[in-house]
Amino acid sequence: MTFAQTALADPEVQTAVEHSQQQTDFWSLLFVLLLSTFIGLGVIARVSRLLHTPLMSITNAISAIAVVGSIIVAGSEYPDDIRLLGAIALFASMTNIVSGFLITNRMLKMFKQERKEPVQ
């Protein structure tokens, strides 16, 4: 048995490892939040003012990424009442995804540049 293996077998070291894992996880999540907020602010600040309504409907659809959580809750081996909550959340997110992307698409198609003389 190598030293590392003996060390891992020791229950105290094991909890320490678990503990540190949880810590790093939390901090890395915060990192992701910080960096993606900066990216978000940078990208959104450049969005054309003409498109603020479509922007809001597409970010609406994007934040319905909550489907990911809802699918897990609705589909895992959990008690039925908990899965039901997940299924309702899934329905709500799915509605946002479908209507959000469709209406964004519909609105974006309407924005046309000026044509001085109609070509056709």
Partner 1 sequence: MIHGLVQFSYILAAALFVFSLYWMSNPKTGKRSVTAGVLAMLLAVVATWIQPEVVHHGWIIIAIVAGFAVGIPLSRVSLTAVPQRTALSHAFGGMAAGLVGTAKFYLWFGEGPEQLTPFRVSAIVIEIILGFMTLTGSLMAAGKLMELKWVPQRPVTYPLQNVSNIGLLALAALLGVLLVLDPTGPWAGIIFPTIIGLSLLFGILLIIPIGGADMPTVISILNSYAGLSAVAMGFVLDNKLLIVAGALDGSSGLILSIIMCKAMNRSFTNVLFGAFGTVQAAKADAGERRYKEETPEGAAQILEQASLVVIIPGYGLAVAQAQHRVRELYDVLSKKGITVKFGIHPVAGRMPGHMNVLLAEADIPYDLQIEMDEINSEMPHCDVALVIGANDTVNPAARHDKSTPIYGMPIIDADKARAVFAIKRSKNPGFAGIENDLYFLDKTFMLFGDAKNVVGELVKKLSPDGVHG
Q: Which of residues 55-114 bind partner 1 (CB under 8 A)?
A: 55-79, 81-114
- Our CB check for partner 1 shows the closer of 2 and 113 to be 113
What 16-20 contacts at long range (C-beta under 8 Å, 24+ apart), as own/partner pairs, is: none
**Residue 93 near residue 67 (C-beta atoms within 8 A):** yes
Let me know: does 52 contact 102? Beta carbons within 8 Å.
no
The least CB distance from residue 16 to partner 1, in Å, is: 15
Q: Applying CB under 8 A, what is the total number of residues that bind partner 1?
A: 84
16 to 55, contacts with partner 1 by CB under 8 A?
A: 22, 25-26, 28-29, 32-33, 36-37, 39-41, 43-55
**Cα distance between residue 105 and residue 116, in whole Å:** 25
Nearer to partner 1, 5 or 118 (CB): 118
